[in-house]
Amino acid sequence: MILFSMLLMFGPQRNRRLKMFVLYFLLVFVGILMLIKPTLIWSMTEMWKSNDATEPSSLYIGSIRFGGTMCTLAGIGGIIALLL
């Protein structure tokens, strides 16, 4: 988050491609994290809401993995668009 705020302090046209590349890279990173470790995402965001807090449901794991797939594809698509 600190890197993101530091990149936004530069001029609007000066490092626009670099800013977008970093944002797309973060999108890919978060998407892969969601694909590989959906229980980590659950423990950071939803664990405190559950009474027993033992494990996430299979529907939750599936939806987090689907979201991770979409984030990863969007990030890769953005990187490809920047390189073209």
What confidence tens digit (pLDDT) does each residue in 33-79 have?
999 999 888 888 887 777 776 788 889 899 999 999 999 999 999 98
Q: Domain limits at 16?
A: 2-83
Prediction pTM value: 0.73
The count of domains in the chain is: 1
pLDDT at 31 over 80: yes
CB 22 within 8 A of CB 78: no
φ, ψ of residue 9 to 5 degrees: the values are -75, -15
> Distance between CA 11 and CA 23 in Å, rounded?
16
